[in-house]
Chains A and B, each alone.
Chain A
Amino acid sequence: MSTLELTINGKGYAFTQGETILDVACRNDIVIPTLCHLKNTTPTGACRMCVVEVKGARSLVASCTVPASAGMEVQTESPSVVKSRKMNLELLLSSGSHDCLLCPASGDCRLQDLAFKYNATGKRFERTKPKYSPDVSNPFLIRDFSKCILCGRCVQACKDVQVNNAIDYGYRGSDAKIIAKCDLPLGDSDCVFCGECLQVCPVGALTLKKARQKPRICETEAVRTTCAYCGVGCQMNLHVKDNVVQMVTGADAVPNHGSLCVKGRFGMQFINSPERLTTPLIRKDGELVPAEWDEALGLVAEKLGTYKAENGADSIGVLASARCTNEENYLFQKFARAVIGTNNVDHCARY
């Protein structure tokens, strides 16, 4: 069987049946800008930013939806393509308030990047006033409709990725808006605050609550780790600045492919909680009082030593923790078995 091939910007590329033009381009590191395209979901073709020119086609085609076909000749940055993208950006930028100076997403915004790339200012048209005021009805995120470009990624994320079906398009024409159940505030809707929408929003329409009290995401350093809540083991990025976990995003890897639940995404405040224990405590006269590490560890070692000596190793128990790492659990059981000398080691699997 002959291999299927198309050309992009004059160069030939092989493809497999079913791949879109965008798929082939991405695979070969050819950048086609997108706003609405969301991996692992059915393309919606909403933003029309990924249009390309295909020789012989009646109009520009959206590369995210059009399948590659043999012999197709694609131009990704032809003058008509660039013109269309630029006009598209002008339209988006003039609708609502895309003010990068005040936007939490600045530095992590596709619209900003594309405006820069295509030299679009949003000044060809009069700026329209936002129709809808922001939704701040919930403790997790803000929906700023004046920044929303209606790309629908949040809807895809909610519908196709998380299958929560909490949000969808509402109204028509220039009144269009992403709404939750009968246009209720998110806090009163069916939303379960997984935050998938927040993560996929390419602009600053969905941002964290109190974003202004935090650094912008582009100022943070991402550390990939495994979530410490349930047994799914979601891969996540802890975004750190000033030794504080400022925000959390899902990492695009197995098993969660970028998704998180409300706890993983919004439940990491405990790390920097002022209630964290910062000093050992020893019970003296019935009260727990602060103590030096040396004293506390010494006391533990001494007591355990004494009970072992007097009542045997089996008079001591160790309850390890399903919350700790494998390495630590290995050490805990080794401690029980090799240091104390007992098999009295268990953990909280049963609760």
Chain B
Amino acid sequence: MGAALKRAITQHGTKLIVSDPRNIDVVRFADVWLRSQPGTDVIWINTLAHIILRDGLHNQEYIDERTENFTAYSQSLAKFTPEYAEKKCGIPVAELEKAAHLYAKGRSAILYCMGITQHVSGTDNVKALANLAMLCGNIGIQGGGLNPLRGQNNVQGACDMGALPTTYPAYGKVIDESVRARFEAAWDVKLSESNGMTSRQMFDAVDAGTLNALYLIGENPVVSHADSAHAVHCLEKIPFLVVQDIFLTETAKLADVVLPAACFAEKNGTFTNTERRVQRVRKAVTAPQGARDDAQIVCDIAAKMGTELIQDNGENAAAVFDEMVSVTPSYGGLTYSRIDETGIQWPCPDTESKGTPILHAEKFVCGKGKFHEVDFVAPAEEADEEYPLILTTGRVLYQYHTGTMTRKSTGLYAKAPAAYLEISRNDAAAYNVNDGDRVKVSSRRGAIEVSVQLSEKAVDGTVFIPFHFAEAAANVLTNSAACPESGIAEVKVCAVTIEPVGD
């Protein structure tokens, strides 16, 4: 993905605008770097829209034909002047002007990751970006669009398959009677009529005593959840915790029952990637003796509860796939043989369809694209006297998520063995710490100890810690305040302070 981006820039003249509080590696390929104060994304995004509108660079034809609520939206942009943005985000006016003009000139794609979503204003940020894209007619065209980059291999597929509290496979709402009726017929069972709880709500329900049992598969919230002390507290408190994983993770250690699972190389199936491409997973080796396929485990539990979850106990992935696509219209035309060589991008409703690389091409799936007025909401926690630095968290190339898998690789371990605090030279001098020093980083929620890494990537006032490392888990520090709409916690912004640790 990164390579494709860099190829586009270096070999095909594509221009790049990077927005990141850190001077990340890709900045050297960028024409403009918008270095914003963490948590102020709505402002600079709306400001780009403001400039585009002010200078008449928007695509009026597209707006008229394809969208609605433009007038209210355009009025809402009035206050987002470049000068206001410079003051609030710390991005120079000239850079904003340059970025706006670059974006509005020709086809432009937006790629974003957790830096946009993991904020209390996460949904607002995405809406603001969507507005920007629609403003310039950049949705539904090749080389355009609003493209979230999925951090995990099958987030897309898990969502598609309805591993969400409000939707069935293919996003039919659980509260929609007709949809529910379809699934009740397919599964021959009466289904719950109310929305379920999100992961975060489940943890809160544990705390409130209303959730008694949690069956947790392949996830490590002790390290990955914001404010991990709270997560640990809930997991310890829950009456019955089942963890199904390939390793005894920090979370599994808290379980009442641990079920050993097979990993991706040991089973057949499909993953759906970030571009909605459904691709094959094939069994290359047999799982270690004693470990079992996830499908088999869940079918066994169901069987013991007196239900046959699926024919053959899930042993035949192809059979599961067939039932799965039969209730998932957007996957309807997919078969293992069709995606044998090359994956297909859904929607692929029937066997005639070759898949759909670009969504919203002729018209928006929901009809008209709605402009949402988005106002700025400050991060839940801001720097203050007690905690004067802003911490933002993220990943390093050599590690993956909570490190369960990557930290088993000697090579990767050698390249990135431990957590560190990335800090600018000025800040390091202010706190009297040097490269390699051990420091205690504290927030209102906890403290961890890491080594200092002086870095040109860091900008004064903002520090960074990768979150992969359980022994110095950045999420001990992060704030669990979440976006009210998506439930995503604001792990990208919290206030911390640092102090040197004596030997």
Contact = CB atoms under 8 A, between A and B. Distances in A.
A contacting B, Cβ–Cβ less than 8 Å: yes
A337 interface: yes
Given A267-B405, A317-B214, A325-B271, A347 B163 contact: yes
A193 B412 CA distance: 10
B199 A348 contact: yes
Given A225-B264, A345-B164, A163 B274 contact: no
Contact of A327 (B183, B256, B324, B412): B324
Nearest to B404: A270
Interface in A246-302: 253-255, 259, 261-263, 266-273, 275-283, 288, 293, 296-302
Say whether chain A's binding surface is mostly helix, strand, loop, or mixed: mixed
A341 B191 CA distance: 6
A314 interface: yes
A118 interface: no
Interface residues of B, number: 146
A323 to B, nearest CB: 4
Nearest to B240: A303
B383 interface: no
A326 B217 contact: no
Interface stretch (B60-68, B90-98, B154-162): B154-162
B215 A304 contact: yes
B366 interface: no
Contacts of A311: 212
Given A139-B415, A225-B264, A343-B166, A270 B257 contact: no
Given A192-B397, A226-B153, A283-B256, A346 B285 contact: no
Contacts of B281: 225-226, 228, 325
Given A288-B255, A301-B304, A243 B286 contact: yes
B253 to A, nearest CB: 7
A34 interface: no
B195 A335 contact: no
A309 to B, nearest CB: 11
A320 B163 contact: yes
B191 A338 contact: yes
Given A162-B3, A326-B160, A320 B410 contact: no
B284 A238 contact: yes
Residue among B212, B247, B324, B404 with the highest chain A CB neighbour number at 10 A: B212
A308 to B, nearest CB: 8
B317 A325 contact: yes
A307 to B, nearest CB: 5
Interface stretch (A49-57, A95-103, A176-184, A229-237): A229-237
Nearest to A323: B218
Interface string B1-32: 11100110111000000000000000000000
B465 to A, nearest CB: 16
A349 interface: yes
A334 to B, nearest CB: 6
Nearest to B163: A320
B260 A279 contact: yes
Nearest to B291: A278
A227 interface: yes
A280 B406 contact: no
Residue among A235, A254, A277 with the highest chain B CB neighbour number at 10 A: A277
Contacts of B271: 226, 228, 233, 325-326
A257 B464 CA distance: 33
Residue among A299, A324, A331, A338 with the highest chain B CB neighbour number at 10 A: A324
Contacts of A347: 155, 158-159, 163-164, 199, 219
A116 interface: no
B191 A233 contact: no
B379 interface: no
Contacts of A267: 400, 405-406, 409, 411-412
A243 B287 CA distance: 9
A58 interface: no
Contact of B187 (A315, A334, A348): A334
Contacts of B202: 317, 319, 344, 346
Given A267-B405, A319-B217, A326-B161, 9 more contacts: A230-B153, A233-B153, A263-B400, A270-B409, A278-B260, A300-B259, A326-B157, A336-B196, A339-B305
10 contacts: A225-B280, A228-B281, A263-B397, A270-B408, A283-B255, A305-B305, A319-B199, A321-B218, A324-B294, A333-B163
When A and B form their complex, which 10 residue pairs have the shortest distance between CB atoms, in order from nearest? A231-B150, A233-B273, A343-B196, A325-B269, A321-B218, A163-B6, A277-B260, A301-B304, A278-B290, A231-B274
